[in-house]
Amino acid sequence: MANCELCEAARLTEWYHEDDTCWIAECEACSVPMVVWRDHGVVPPDDAVVHMQAELAKVGDRIFGHDDWFLDDNMRQIPEHYHAHARKKLPWMKK
């Protein structure tokens, strides 16, 4: 897809993971790990979502520590291409 910065997949930041389904890199805007689907679209198949969330969980656990981050799949910046951020939990989110 032309003019989609997630399809472009420019390696401007550190890449943590890549495979045939997705890649995970530090988000340029947020400086947190972000998983990006390799296909351009909003709703990946269920097995792809499970896979991507599992891969993001590995990176999130490594960067922030187990249970110290949450998955944010609200796509504010680029709503037309599936991606999700791993963000550090704020103190009020912890039990």
- Note the residues at the interface with Zn ion (CB under 5 A): 1, 4, 6-7, 27, 29-30, 40, 81
Min dist. Cβ of residue 75 to Zn ion (A):
10
Closest CA to 94 of 54, 76, 67: 67
CA dist 79 and 32 (Å) reads: 18
Provide the token pair at 77.
Answer: 């910046």
Output the smallest distance, CB 1 to Zn ion, in A: 4
CB of 88 to Zn ion, least distance (A): 13
The nearer residue to Zn ion, 1 or 93, going by C-beta atoms, is: 1
Task: Write out the two tokens for 22.
Answer: 């997705």
Instruction: Report the residue number, 4 or 12, with the smaller CB distance to Zn ion.
Output: 4
Which of 23, 37, 27 minimizes the C-alpha distance to 88?
27
